[in-house]
């Protein structure tokens, strides 16, 4: 019976590993762990271990010689079944299968040439270090040196023998190898092993995707072998990885020499270590102080100090060579919401993501800096051509379109950017930076998620802005703002269905301020809660007046800001206003833009569900201009999607807009939502939207935004205007 079960197991195993018992194993030069001897036979610790496992399982091992990077590539593409001697990392876990049982622990050690002095990482400044291509050691030493602000030159090699050959020739100053590596005898006399160690890791067997059965059997035998000190694992370890016996001297003489050598070594080491420790500590402290004064600790980017130095250098370079440059200042849109709604840790992760994204975009001669909380700057050397800058900014926008994840929650980022060109937008560093910041703020005021070139007219607008904000505060307090109303019509019947409330501010001392500018100004100066309360109260009061007159005003849509959703008292005030004016919640719909919702969708879902329980409808405005996902649309308690006017303008002639409009309508229908098309100005647009099944139409074709008086006449049937 046991024999039958064993035969059945073999058959199942053969199927799971590809209907064959031949196992392809990558072998690269890393003596004594694994290497190819002069006769071409794989040797070392891992070949002995794997041969023992294969003997237990009845497998045939076929070794495939390859360079380290090539072996990893073969394993990733399934050309190898397994690869021994692989350091486990989260990144590699995404590419390969790893056994639960670690083979052993390891770390990296730095070697240098005899006669050189490298006693700490600090002494690698401007040195050349050989590292194995695509290895964890290469990543580790880069991180360590960058953390200290140390610049070194890295030479990537395919195997360690090549690295030590370069060290012997003097083409590199150091080699980073694993702790087990056995230096070739030809170089042993001229190579020094230092006490510099880094990158502790667990070494495991790695398997190609789909080789889980093979992994389980190897894990099983590895676990068993490690538990038995006389097993092939420990035999191979003692043979290849433990230090060689020192000599054939008598044991007593060896012991005496050992004790004497140890005492002398301890004395010398203690004396030398204290001196090195003091020098290294002082050197390290000075470097750290200098680094912190020049670099942002969170992202590792240069700070404002280094940015200003770089701008001065670029100006000096222009005076010598005539090479102009551009300065771009970025500010994240709605970063504050991410930071406050999720956590400061999420905010930090967001800033690190932005820093790495910007670094990936720029060229080697450019520089990225973090100059404020959520502000970054880029110096683009030799780039002042408008088309070239447009290409760079478009590429940057595309890089930020894809969401990144924090705690399994997708985060969508947009930015506002200002561009200043030297020398036409500023002849000295501070003026250039101020003008780039001014342009960035202009981009924010125009709706965010855009970039703007600086112009002198912006400075005049800045001078106007502060008194305008003061006037807005006064207007809210005094009730000097005006509400306008734009009707919405049922597409099939042409009957009025309801209307949208729109804010208007006619400031006698300045000018007519656009609704977008008014809201942005309120958000920037902490007035948005007061402004939102004013709009809601005035709108509900007006709706109640029409209802009392029996005018049947229909569904009223009121725009709110995402910042209002963060106010814990918002729902209470909303409920109180509904009771005060005796308005049924089902008569009200709140509108938010898609981009606002997607800034922090999880937080928005919670608040909107609370609002929806009151019976109030929820509409997504400007749908199609943001990056919402279907999963969030299904989770949000929304009742209406509004097709943005930018997709309606060219209907029915633009194929792209036709496709978008059809997709939004179909999506809404599948989710049981109503659709509203805004910006309808021509009958052919209305006819197309009706045919496609759009529910409501809004735009100048039917009615412009109108005052309360005109809206009253329209409801009474006495309105003559359009």
Q: Does residue 252 have a pLDDT over 50?
A: no
- Any idea which residue has 């420790």 for tokens? 277
What is the edge-to-edge ordering of all strands in the sheet holding 415-422? 367-370, 375-381, 325-332, 415-422, 451-453
Q: Does residue 16 have a pLDDT over 50?
A: no
Mean pLDDT, residues 566-576 taken together: 85
Answer for the pair 334, 565: CB distance below 8 angstroms, yes or no: no
pLDDT tens by residue, 595-619: 666 655 666 777 888 899 999 999 9
- State both tokens at 103: 């083979």
The pLDDT score that the predictor gives to residue 494 is 92
Chain centroid to CA 233: how far? 43
Q: What spatial distance separates the first Cα and last Cα of the chain, rounded to whole Å? A: 92
Decide which of 699 and 270 is more confident: 699
CA dihedral 504, 507, 513, 519 (to 10 degrees): -70
Decide which of 86 and 464 is more confident: 86
**What φ, ψ does residue 579 adopt, rounded to 5°?**
-70, -40
Question: What residues have CB less than 8 Å from 408, skipping those under 6 apart?
Answer: none
Decide which of 317 and 556 is more confident: 556
Q: Report how far residue 598's alpha carbon sits from residue 562's, in angstroms, rounded to the nearest whole number.
A: 10
Answer for the pair 583, 547: CB distance below 8 angstroms, yes or no: yes
Q: Does residue 5 have a pLDDT over 60?
A: no
Answer for the pair 638, 605: CB distance below 8 angstroms, yes or no: no
What's the pLDDT band for 317 if we cut at 50, 70, 90?
A: confident
Decide which of 514 and 490 is more confident: 490
Question: What residues have CB less than 8 Å from 456, skipping those under 6 apart?
Answer: none
The strand pairing partners of 63, in sequence order, are 25
| Ordered alpha helix ranges (H), 331-485 | 335-341, 344-361, 386-401, 429-445, 457-478
The pLDDT score that the predictor gives to residue 721 is 61
- 251-262 burial: b if 16+ Cβ within 10 Å, else e: eeeeeeeeeeee
What's the pLDDT band for 122 if we cut at 50, 70, 90?
A: confident
Instruction: Give the CA distances from residue 100 to residues 103, 267, 500, 709, in Å, rounded to whole numbers and listed in that order.
Output: 10, 43, 61, 75
What's the pLDDT band for 3 if we cut at 50, 70, 90?
A: very low
Overall residue count recorded for the chain in this entry? 722
Q: Does residue 251 have a pLDDT over 50?
A: no
The pLDDT score that the predictor gives to residue 104 is 83
The pLDDT score that the predictor gives to residue 685 is 95
Q: Report how far residue 161's alpha carbon sits from residue 167's, in angstroms, rounded to the nearest whole number.
A: 10
Q: What pTM was computed for the model?
A: 0.43
Decide which of 467 and 267 is more confident: 467
The pLDDT score that the predictor gives to residue 54 is 92
Q: Report how far residue 335's alpha carbon sits from residue 332's, in angstroms, rounded to the nearest whole number.
A: 6
Q: Does residue 81 have a pLDDT over 80?
A: yes
Q: Report how far residue 217's alpha carbon sits from residue 230's, in angstroms, rounded to the nearest whole number.
A: 20
Beta strand pairing status for 555-559 and 451-453? unpaired
Q: Report how far residue 167's alpha carbon sits from residue 113's, in angstroms, rounded to the nearest whole number.
A: 6
Instruction: Give the CA distances from residue 293 to residues 250, 288, 309, 393, 406, in Å, rounded to whole numbers and listed in that order.
Output: 60, 9, 13, 30, 30
Q: Does residue 273 have a pLDDT over 80?
A: no
The pLDDT score that the predictor gives to residue 265 is 46
Highest mean pLDDT among 56-65, 127-136, 294-303, 500-509: 56-65
The pLDDT score that the predictor gives to residue 21 is 75
What's the pLDDT band for 7 if we cut at 50, 70, 90?
A: very low
Q: Does residue 228 have a pLDDT over 70?
A: yes
The pLDDT score that the predictor gives to residue 261 is 45
The pLDDT score that the predictor gives to residue 491 is 95
Tell me, what DSSP letter sits at residue 374? S
The pLDDT score that the predictor gives to residue 263 is 54
Q: Does residue 477 have a pLDDT over 60?
A: yes
3-class state of residue 417 by DSSP: strand
Q: Does residue 549 have a pLDDT over 50?
A: yes
The pLDDT score that the predictor gives to residue 565 is 81
Q: Report how far residue 88's alpha carbon sits from residue 544's, in angstroms, rounded to the nearest whole number.
A: 67
Q: Report how far residue 451's alpha carbon sits from residue 444's, in angstroms, rounded to the nearest whole number.
A: 9
For the chain, give the mean pLDDT.
81
Answer for the pair 27, 64: CB distance below 8 angstroms, yes or no: yes
Q: Does residue 153 have a pLDDT over 60?
A: yes
pLDDT tens by residue, 338-358: 776 777 778 888 899 899 888
| Lowest mean per-residue pLDDT among 293-302, 405-414, 516-525, 663-672 | 516-525
The pLDDT score that the predictor gives to residue 697 is 96
What's the pLDDT band for 373 if we cut at 50, 70, 90?
A: confident
pLDDT tens by residue, 426-462: 888 888 888 898 899 888 877 788 888 888 777 666 6
Tell me, what DSSP letter sits at residue 244? P
Tell me, what DSSP letter sits at residue 706? B
The pLDDT score that the predictor gives to residue 274 is 57
Q: Report how far residue 46's alpha carbon sits from residue 512's, in angstroms, rounded to the nearest whole number.
A: 79
Answer for the pair 174, 138: CB distance below 8 angstroms, yes or no: no
What's the pLDDT band for 590 if we cut at 50, 70, 90?
A: very high
Percent of the chain with pLDDT over 90: 28
The pLDDT score that the predictor gives to residue 338 is 78
Percent of the chain with pLDDT over 70: 84
Q: Does residue 554 have a pLDDT over 90?
A: yes
């Amino acid at each position: 019976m046991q024999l039958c079960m064993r035969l059945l197991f073999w058959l199942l195993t053969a199927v799971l590993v590809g209907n064959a018992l031949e196992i392809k194993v990558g072998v690269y030069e890393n003596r004594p762990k694994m290497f190819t001897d002069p006769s071409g036979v794989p040797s070392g610790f891992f070949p002995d271990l794997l041969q023992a496992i294969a003997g237990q399982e009845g497998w045939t091992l076929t070794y495939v010689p390859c360079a380290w990077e090539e072996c990893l590539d073969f394993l990733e593409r399934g050309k190898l079944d397994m690869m021994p001697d692989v350091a486990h990392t989260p990144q590699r876990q995404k590419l390969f299968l790893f056994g639960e049982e670690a083979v052993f622990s390891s770390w990296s050690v730095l070697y240098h040439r005899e006669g050189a002095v490298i006693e700490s990482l600090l002494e690698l400044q401007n040195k050349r270090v050989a590292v194995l291509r695509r290895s964890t050691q290469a990543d580790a030493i880069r991180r360590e040196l960058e953390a200290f602000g140390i610049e070194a030159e890295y030479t990537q090699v395919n195997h360690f023998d090549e690295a030590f050959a370069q060290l012997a020739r003097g083409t590199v100053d150091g080699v980073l190898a694993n702790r087990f590596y056995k230096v070739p005898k030809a170089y042993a006399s001229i190579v020094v092993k230092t006490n510099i160690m880094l990158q502790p890791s667990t070494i495991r067997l790695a398997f190609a995707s789909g080789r889980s059965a093979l992994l389980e059997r190897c894990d099983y035998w590895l676990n068993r072998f490690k538990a038995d000190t006389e097993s092939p694992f420990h035999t191979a370890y003692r043979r290849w990885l433990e230090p060689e016996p020192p000599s054939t001297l008598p044991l007593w003489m060896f012991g005496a020499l050992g004790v004497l050598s140890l005492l002398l070594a301890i004395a010398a080491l203690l004396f030398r270590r204290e001196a090195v420790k003091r020098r290294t500590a002082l050197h390290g402290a000075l470097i750290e102080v200098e680094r912190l004064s020049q670099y942002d600790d969170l992202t590792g980017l240069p700070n404002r100090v280094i940015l200003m130095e770089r701008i001065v250098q670029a100006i000096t370079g222009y005076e010598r060579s005539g090479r102009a440059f551009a300065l771009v200042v970025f500010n994240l849109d709605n970063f504050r919401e991410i930071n406050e709604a999720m956590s400061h840790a999420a905010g930090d992760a967001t800033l690190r993501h932005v820093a790495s994204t910007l670094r990936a975009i720029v060229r080697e001669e450019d520089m990225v800096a973090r100059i404020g909380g959520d502000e970054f700057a880029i110096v683009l050397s030799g780039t002042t051509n408008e088309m070239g800058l447009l290409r760079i900014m478009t590429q940057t926008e595309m890089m930020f379109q894809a969401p990144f994840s924090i705690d399994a929650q997708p985060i969508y980022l947009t930015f506002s950017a200002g561009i200043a060109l030297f020398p036409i937008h500023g002849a000295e560093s501070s003026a250039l930076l101020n003008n780039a910041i001014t342009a960035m703020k202009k981009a924010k005021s125009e709706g965010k998620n855009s970039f703007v070139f600086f112009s002198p007219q912006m400075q005049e607008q800045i001078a106007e802005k502060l008194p305008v904000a003061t006037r807005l505060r006064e207007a809210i307090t005094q009730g000097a703002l005006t509400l306008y109303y734009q009707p919405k019509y049922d597409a099939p019947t042409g009957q009025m269905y309801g209307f949208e409330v729109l804010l208007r501010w006619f400031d006698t001392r300045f000018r007519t301020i656009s609704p977008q500018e008014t809201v942005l100004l309120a958000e920037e100066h902490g007035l948005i809660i007061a402004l939102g309360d004013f709009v809601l109260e005035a709108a509900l009061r007006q709706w109640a007046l029409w209802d009392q007159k029996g005018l049947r005003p229909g569904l009223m849509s009121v725009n709110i800001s995402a910042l209002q959703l963060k106010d814990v008292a918002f729902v209470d005030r909303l409920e109180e206003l509904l009771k005060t004016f005796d308005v049924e919640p089902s008569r009200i719909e709140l509108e938010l833009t898609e981009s606002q919702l997607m800034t922090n969708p999880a937080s928005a879902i919670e608040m909107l569900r609370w609002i929806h329980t009151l019976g109030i409808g929820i509409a997504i405005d400007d749908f199609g201009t943001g990056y919402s996902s279907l999963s969030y649309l299904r989770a949000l308690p929304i009742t209406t999607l509004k097709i943005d006017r930018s997709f309606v303008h060219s209907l029915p002639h633009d194929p792209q807009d036709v496709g978008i409009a059809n997709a939004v309508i179909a999506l809404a229908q599948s989710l049981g939502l109503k659709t509203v098309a805004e910006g309808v100005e021509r009958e052919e647009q209305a006819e197309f939207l009706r045919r496609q099944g759009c529910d409501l139409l809004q735009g100048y074709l039917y009615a412009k935004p109108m005052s309360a008086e005109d809206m009253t006449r329209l409801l009474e049937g006495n309105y003559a205007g359009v």
